[in-house]
Amino acid sequence: MRKATSKIPSVKTKFNDLLNTEMRRHKIVGKGQALLEEAKLTKALTNDSQQEYNMIESRLLQAVKHADKKCRKAQKGQIPFSKKAHEIMSRYRVLKLIKKREIT
């Protein structure tokens, strides 16, 4: 569960603060803007530009994971995972699909 989609305002604020800090620390926005300007001038991405873009994208994903990990834990239900509950839900879905086919 991504903590950025949490309905708890303090969790969203902390996530955004951590993400912005990581982006500033690695100068992701500046690198992205420079790459965009270069692409506008050349009308295409060169191999070096493509590698730079991939590096920026992977660094951004790492920043999101870092912010997500350092955020306060998301509130989840008190019900632990159960194989039995999973089997019951699977059977329920199958029966529901059969019922829908009978109706149509």
pLDDT in tens, 74-92: 556 666 677 888 888 899 9
For residue 82, what are its two tokens? Answer: 């159960």
Please report the sign of the dihedral spanned by the C-alpha atoms of residue 51, residue 57, residue 61, residue 63. positive
Q: Judge if pTM exceeds 0.85.
A: no
In contact, 56 and 31? CB cutoff 8 Å: yes
Q: How far is CA 40 from CA 34, 43, 46, 78, in A?
A: 10, 5, 12, 52
Q: How far is CA 71 from the centre of its chain?
A: 14
High-pLDDT (> 70) share of the chain, % = 86
Residue 76, pLDDT score: 61
pLDDT tens digit string along 35-76? 999 888 888 888 888 999 999 999 999 998 888 888 766 556
